[in-house]
Amino acid sequence: MEMKDLVSFAVAKGFVYQGSEIYGGLANAWDYGPNGALLKENLKNLWIKHFVQKRSDMVLLDAAILMNPQTWVTSGHVGGFSDPLMDCKSCKQRLRADKLVEEYVEATGDAEMPAEWAGESTPAANLTAYIAKKGIKCPNCGGTDFSDIKKFNLMFKTFQGVTEDSTATVYLRPETAQGIFVNFSNVVRTSRKKVPFGIAQVGKAFRNEITPKNFIFRTREFEQMEIEFFCEPESIAPGKHLEWHEAWKTVCWNFLTKTVGLKEDLMRFRNHGPDELSFYSAATTDIEFYFPFGWGELWGIADRTDYDLSAHMKESKADLAYFDPFTNQKYVPFVIEPSLGLNRLMLVTLISAYDEVDSGEGKRVVLRFKPEVAPVKVAVLPLVKKLSEEAKKVYDLLSDHFVCEYDDAGAIGKRYYRMDEIGVPFSICVDSENFEAGQVTVRDRDTGLQETVKMDDLVEYFRKKGC
Ligand code: GAP
């Protein structure tokens, strides 16, 4: 599948629209249409159910997007959250030096990397030397004359209040995680949770990405679902944090394969090597997905040690140390951070569910969402238009419990296919004979099999199916 085909399909079926389209759009801004908004909401709710509701060791938080700007100085984002940029002197194209290197290595299979290679954090001089040595060309014009590399900070800045000077500068958060760290002691105090426990948060994050691309894979405005799971530090329980890191890898993998229903053969773990690891991280693993453009990060699972809490403690002078009532010891916990992009999860859910079948009249698309994930759970279709009143009664009965779709336009077969295309797992056909007997027929999207179900049992029937 090519990304452009997926984009056309997603736009045509009301999953995603180009942002501000009537004004010519805004680069890489996407709006979520009726089916996309529901799909995204379902994925978010499944994540909350799986990681908060079903676990006694997790709580939910909703911190503000705008935070005291000192937060971002302490976290290292003001000083270090930047991309290495350079300009092609011939065509003036602005390029990310680290991406140019990655694309070159991928295309040529060259095993040599720049010295001290660490993606966007690689020293600029080493990137420059490597690009010159390999004769890497500008992908736009083929030129090889580049400007010096400059660091470009990815945070969006704005002003709070009426003055527009540096004292009023605030940032749109580039990650939700820091809202969790600064609230650590509030949550400990008010939730009475004991280490090991975790705080989960879903919310918008903003990054002024230089090369946003690949549809909703990388955008400037996106949503993150992040967990900070606090556990005993190395000094208290040697190696325990690494065990937790391993455990979270499995939990996250199972959420994707069993709860969301992603295809396992499109996924893999990738451990960060010593070169790539942040200086404070004890281990980091990405769950990668095979996108139409190749393997890419879906979910980062990092062992961040006590770096963030210690840094905030030092800077704010607040006591963020944890007192363990069982051992009477006081310590700064280590943290495991599974961080997932909601929009990226929606993209992989669409890719994984996408299927084409030959109906005899050409190819048609079926989205094979799990019922739990599907934006619309049940379609209510009168066999013929004159049964619309009866069908609307069925719709009213079910729409109290599930998101349903009503459709009476066109032949019944065509209507089934329309529902298959947006991934509706079950379609009800209302015909007069069954209706009078207090029942309807239910068609299963994936098997095409039809079953007669009593109207009184319908809600329970769909509940059992996972709707
Ligand atoms: N707190 C850690 C953190 O933010 P990250 O690897 O930068 O780590 C975590 O981001 C996840 O957020 C990524 O794995 C990805 O799913 C998602 N993400 C990051 N940048 C994104 C962007 N520009 N657009 C969409 N999703 C993004």
- The answer to whether residues 223 and 337 belong to one domain is yes
Is it the case that residue 359 has pLDDT exceeding 90? no
Q: What is the pLDDT of residue 264?
A: 97
pLDDT-based confidence at residue 116 (cuts at 50, 70, 90): confident
CA of 299 to the centre of ligand 1 (A): 8
Confidence of residue 338 (pLDDT cuts 50, 70, 90): very high
Overall average pLDDT of the 185-208 stretch: 97
Instruction: Say how many Å lie between the CA of residue 297 and the centre of ligand 1.
Output: 8
pLDDT at 283: 97
Q: What is the pLDDT of residues 23-65, one digit of tens each?
A: 999 999 999 999 999 999 999 999 999 999 999 999 999 999 9
Residue 369 lies in a domain: no
Q: Residue 248 C-alpha to ligand 1 middle, in angstroms?
A: 17
Ligand 1, atom 25, lies closest to the CA of: 218
Say if 264 falls within a structural domain: yes
Model's pTM, two decimal places?
0.93
Greater pLDDT, 261 or 82: 261
User: Which numbered atom of ligand 1 lies nearest the CA of 299?
Assistant: 14
Closest atom of ligand 1 to 177 CA is 1
Residues 314 and 398 grouped into a single domain = no
Residue 201 falls inside a structural domain: yes
Q: Are residues 194 and 279 in the same domain?
A: yes
Question: Quick one: 174 and 254 in the same domain?
Answer: yes
Q: What is the model's pLDDT at position 118? A: 82
Residue 341 CA to ligand 1 center (angstroms) comes to 6
Centre of ligand 1 to C-alpha 301, Å, is: 11
For residue 300, give the ligand 1 atom closest to its CA: 14
Percent of the chain with pLDDT over 70: 100
Whether residues 441 and 427 fall in one domain = yes
Question: Same domain for 262 and 323?
Answer: yes
pLDDT at 178 over 90: yes
Same domain assignment for residues 139 and 189: no
CA of 13 to the centre of ligand 1 (A): 26
Domain boundary among 123, 149, 175: 149
Residue-wise pLDDT tens digits, 376-389: 999 999 999 999 99
Give nearest CA residue, ligand 1 atom 4: 175
Q: pLDDT band for position 316 (50/70/90)?
A: very high
Give the pLDDT mean for 260-272: 97
Instruction: Dump pLDDT digits (tens) for 57-114.
Output: 999 999 999 999 999 999 999 998 898 999 999 998 889 999 899 889 988 999 899 9
Boundary residue ending a domain (95, 124, 149): 149
* Residue 414 located in a structural domain: yes
Residue 172 vs residues 77, 147, 261: alpha-carbon distances, Å: 12, 30, 33
Residue 302 and residue 250 in one domain: yes
Give domain status of residue 362, yes or no: no
In a domain, 363, yes or no: no
Which atom in ligand 1 lies closest to the alpha carbon of residue 297? 14
- Minimum CA distance residue for ligand 1 atom 19: 341
User: Count of domains in the chain?
Assistant: 3
Q: Rounded mean pLDDT of 406-419?
A: 96
Q: Helices 97-108 & 124-134, crossing angle to 10 degrees?
A: 40
Return the best residue to mutate from 32, 206, 216, 224 for the ligand 1 pocket (most ligand atoms within 8 A of CB).
224
The residue segments making up the domain with residue 447 are 376-464
The whole-number pLDDT of residue 11 equals: 97
Q: pLDDT at residue 16 above 90?
A: yes
- Spacing, Cα 300 to ligand 1 middle (Å): 8
Pocket of ligand 1 (CB under 6 A): 175, 177, 207, 209, 218-219, 222, 224, 226, 297-300, 337, 339-341, 343-344
122 and 218 fall within a common domain: no
Domain CATH for 423: 3.40.50.800
CATH number at residue 302: 3.30.930.10
List the residue whose alpha carbon is closest to atom 18 of ligand 1. Answer: 341
- Do 407 and 344 reside in the same domain of the chain? no
Atom of ligand 1 nearest to the CA of 217: 25
Predicted pLDDT of residue 187: 98
In ligand 1, the atom with minimum distance to the C-alpha of 220 is 23
Establish if 360 belongs to a structural domain: no
CATH number at residue 107: 3.30.40.230
Average of pLDDT values for 106-125? Answer: 88
Same domain, residue pair 35 and 86:
no
| Residue-wise pLDDT tens digits, 284-307 | 999 999 999 999 999 999 999 999
pLDDT-derived band at 362 (thresholds 50, 70, 90) equals confident
For residue 213, how far is its CA from the centre of ligand 1 (angstroms)? 14
Whether residue 37 sits in one domain with residue 135: no
Q: Is residue 368 part of a domain?
A: no
Tens-digit pLDDT profile for residues 140-165: 999 999 999 999 999 999 999 888 88
Among 222, 281, 295, residue to substitute to test ligand 1 (most atoms within 8 Å of Cβ): 222
